[in-house]
Amino acid sequence: MSNPLQDLPLLPSFDRLDPEHVPAAIDAHLEACRARLQTGLYEPGWDTTLSPLDEAHDRLSRAFSPVSHLNSVLSGPWRAPYEAALAKITDYWTELGQNRELYEVYRLLADSPEFSQWPQARRKSIELGLRDFRLGGVALEGEERAQFAANSRRLSELSSTFANNVLDATNAWSYRTEDEAELSGLPDTALAAARAAAESRGESGWMITLDGPSYLAAMTHADNRELRQMVHQAFVSRASDQGTDAGRFDNTPVMTEILALRARQAQLLGFENYADLSLASKMAENSSTVLEFLHNLARRARPAAEREFAQLQAFASTELGLDQLQPWDIAWAAEKLKRDRYAVSQEELRPYFPFPRVLSGLFAVVARLFGVTVEADPSVAVWHPDVQFFWLKRDGDKLAGFYLDPFAREKKRGGAWMDTVTTRRQGSDGLQLPVAYLVCNFSPPAGGKPALLTHYEVTTLFHEFGHGLHHMLTKVDVSPVSGINGVAWDAVELPSQFLENWCWEPEAIEMISGHYDTGEPLPEVLLEKMLAAKNFQSAMFTVRQLEFALFDFRLHSLEQSPSAEEIQALLDEVRREVAVVPVSPLNRFQNSFSHIFAGGYAAGYYSYKWAEVLSADAFSLFEENGIFDQETGGHFLQTILEQGGSRDALELFTEFRGRGPEIDALLRHSGIES
């Protein structure tokens, strides 16, 4: 029987994939990559070395992509083969990054007289390749060279371990009750989900879990303060030495080893610290630029955040009988204050944002902005009944495709993300279309109703689709700079945050909303309340993001690796500087901070705010010209989405906006005075 990870059609054969397919396929692709490399080195050149090697790498990527993806969305039997394959692939990329013969091919091409006449995408891919060789340790010798390679493999293992511990700790905790009165305050949607969670585990009653929708519902709506405290403390102590599962999935030693190895890698490459190494591939010039940016935002936002929290505390004291707000009271009290001030809640809005309506409205928004249509293709094999596949088209021609996996379930990684199935590239078999995974964790349909989204979840869907458009609408055919490839990490959030803006525009809201039962549009009075409440506690949210960003960047700016106690002390120090809300003594946020310990945001979490400046400023041009102005939409498509990583992010932004980025639009959109 053929191996679908070796046959490699454009779309993975999810109906045939089995964990047993992984070892043989990955070994075969790695062998092919190494053979292509050796052959190519005999006759150095773009067409003879780099293009054939890129084709082999593309096949390796297309084989590993579904394995990595299934480990994230199904876990279970995919974890062991994923980790074994990841170790082999990490070894290969480390080996390749230190291959001096291949490095010399890049140098030869960059120094050739014809180089300046090459297409922009090819030139950029060579420039980035040379940078990555330097960052991959190509200049290292002897013991340092071997140590760098060993560290790279260990870091890959630790990153996977960190993510597994967070997932396992999240899945391990639940609270079941037979007494519905304990869940007083939870809306019908949350109660139905709790009932379904219990039934899925063969239990009666209602079950609260640490999955995003369940946790947020409990923290925002449960009137039972003891329940909120229990759920909150279980959540903030995940994967740590605290809480009910103390030590069972503890990420403390994982975290400290990751930081030690990152610091050592930076030193081996001649950087003072890991933050400096990280910035070598980002827009921001240096560490001072990043810290100045974050502190400047904090200076502007914290006074407003303090006022917001003082108002919340006063309201809680006079109206809710809470003289002292505890961490598990914040979201609950905030929801009460929001209802009191604006007479609107996310739960009131839910019936007007049924998932099918939001999805079709999102596609309509994108069609008006960028002239593309989206069509479902039920014939494509998927990994779960909730998943759908779509084609992105223009004038009837396929441009790209994407899988959408929208709902939370057990053994699925939390959060929301976009990932790559295939990359647009010109190969020996012709043009390969880009395909993406779009993954969210919304509350699934329950109680005979479709999935009803909060407005926050609507913006999440738009955010991930923005990432998807960046990947799918590229016109670049050179894979190292096609789509999101080669884009500076602190600019990669630009298209995603940019698209969120349409969730707040009345003309677009009309397209994405409609009562699940009657189809009636969102009433004008609710719309006005929702828009009035847009910046409710936005300064508190801003300083929370700044807390994460400053902690991450300062942590990776340390020259010596910190102990667990020093990590906690640094986080406490950052909180004293920017935070305004109380923190539970059991809080070990760092132990589940997957963005920086299991994702690509190490010394880069600041990117969310950095890119938000770009996205708000970009959207301000639509505010000036009309939110569906076709010329402006076409200009954004051509200068940002189609260019991928073929040109510097700042250069592309400046071409779109006609000037460099300015922070004013972000402050205005956030309701924070300039």
For residue 442, give the CATH number of its domain: 1.10.1370.40
List, for residues 632-657, the tens digit of each pLDDT value.
999 999 999 999 999 999 999 999 99
* Beta bridge pairs of residue 376: 390
For residue 428, the model assigns a pLDDT of: 87
Identify the DSSP state of 662. Answer: -
Give yes or no: residues 191 and 115 share one domain.
no
Tell whether the model's pLDDT for residue 45 goes beyond 80.
yes
Query: What's the CA gap between 113 and 428, in Å, rounded?
Result: 26
Query: What's the CA gap between 494 and 503, in Å, rounded?
Result: 16
Tell whether the model's pLDDT for residue 592 goes beyond 70.
yes
Give yes or no: residues 384 and 427 share one domain.
yes
Give yes or no: residues 334 and 358 share one domain.
no
Domain termination residue (choose one: 597, 614, 638): 597
Give yes or no: residues 229 and 134 share one domain.
no
Do residues 592 and 599 make contact, with C-beta atoms less than 8 angstroms apart?
A: no
Query: What's the CA gap between 493 and 463, in Å, rounded?
Result: 9
Domain termination residue (choose one: 145, 167, 189): 167
Tell whether the model's pLDDT for residue 673 goes beyond 80.
no
Do residues 505 and 460 make contact, with C-beta atoms less than 8 angstroms apart?
A: no
Work out the average pLDDT over 517-526: 93
Do residues 536 and 342 make contact, with C-beta atoms less than 8 angstroms apart?
A: yes
Do residues 221 and 231 make contact, with C-beta atoms less than 8 angstroms apart?
A: no
Residue 448 lies in a domain: yes
Q: Give the dihedral sign, CA 374/377/381/384.
A: positive
How is residue 9 written in tokens?
A: 């059609």
Tell whether the model's pLDDT for residue 61 goes beyond 80.
yes
Three-state secondary structure string covering 263-317? HHHHHHCCCCCHHHHHHCCCCCCCHHHHHHHHHHHHHHHHHHHHHHHHHHHHHHH
Tell whether the model's pLDDT for residue 433 goes beyond 90.
yes
H-helix or E-strand containing 22?
helix 22-41
For residue 429, the model assigns a pLDDT of: 87
* Beta bridge pairs of residue 420: 436
Residue 658 lies in a domain: no
Query: What's the CA gap between 499 and 189, in Å, rounded?
Result: 27
What is the count of structural domains for the chain?
4
Percent of the chain with pLDDT over 90: 94
* Beta bridge pairs of residue 177: 206
Please name the amino acid found at residue 558.
L
List, for residues 385-408, the tens digit of each pLDDT value.
999 999 999 999 999 999 999 999
Domain termination residue (choose one: 204, 236, 268): 236
Write down the number of H helices and E strands in the chain: 27, 9
Percent of the chain with pLDDT over 70: 100
Give yes or no: residues 101 and 78 share one domain.
yes
Question: Mean pLDDT in the chain?
Answer: 96
List, for residues 211-248, the tens digit of each pLDDT value.
999 999 999 999 999 999 999 999 999 999 999 999 99
Work out the average pLDDT over 255-261: 98
Do residues 566 and 260 make contact, with C-beta atoms less than 8 angstroms apart?
A: no
Give yes or no: residues 286 and 319 share one domain.
yes
How many of the other CB atoms lie within 10 Å of CB of 145?
Answer: 16
Give yes or no: residues 265 and 287 share one domain.
yes
Give yes or no: residues 426 and 547 share one domain.
no
Please name the amino acid found at residue 647.
R
List, for residues 145-184, the tens digit of each pLDDT value.
999 999 999 999 999 999 999 999 999 999 999 999 999 9
Q: Give the dihedral sign, CA 410/412/417/423.
A: negative
How is residue 470 written in tokens?
A: 């960046």
Phi, psi dihedral angles at 134 (to 5 degrees):
-60, -40
Identify the DSSP state of 482. Answer: S
CA 100 to chain centre: 34
3-state secondary structure at position 176:
strand
Give yes or no: residues 375 and 337 share one domain.
no
For residue 1, the model assigns a pLDDT of: 65
Give yes or no: residues 458 and 590 share one domain.
no
Q: Give the dihedral sign, CA 346/351/354/357.
A: negative
CATH number for the domain that contains residue 574: 1.10.1370.10
Residue 414 lies in a domain: yes
pLDDT band at 313 (very low <50, low <70, confident <90, very high): very high
How is residue 151 written in tokens?
A: 């560290």
Q: How far apart are the first and last CA of the chain?
A: 65
Do residues 370 and 641 make contact, with C-beta atoms less than 8 angstroms apart?
A: yes
Catalytic residue ranges: 464
Tell whether the model's pLDDT for residue 555 goes beyond 80.
yes
Query: What's the CA gap between 96 and 293, in Å, rounded?
Result: 36
How is residue 125 written in tokens?
A: 């891919």
Residue 157 lies in a domain: yes
Tell whether the model's pLDDT for residue 310 goes beyond 60.
yes
For residue 672, the model assigns a pLDDT of: 83
Work out the average pLDDT over 568-583: 97
Residue 61 lies in a domain: yes
Query: What's the CA gap between 356 and 601, in Å, rounded?
Result: 32
- Could you tell me the residue range of the domain that residue 289 belongs to? 258-343+540-597
List, for residues 70-104, the tens digit of each pLDDT value.
999 998 899 999 999 999 999 999 999 999 999 99
Work out the average pLDDT over 620-624: 96
Tell whether the model's pLDDT for residue 674 goes beyond 60.
no
Residue 668 lies in a domain: no
Compute the CA torsion angle 227, 229, 235, 236 (nearest 10 deg): 180
Give yes or no: residues 461 and 551 share one domain.
no
Identify the DSSP state of 437. Answer: E
Give yes or no: residues 466 and 497 share one domain.
yes
How would you classify residue 571: left for phi > 0, otherwise alpha for psi between -120 and 50, otherwise beta? alpha
CA 663 to chain centre: 23
Residue 335 lies in a domain: yes
Work out the average pLDDT over 290-305: 96
Residue 619 lies in a domain: no
List, for residues 448-476, the tens digit of each pLDDT value.
899 999 999 999 999 999 999 999 999 99
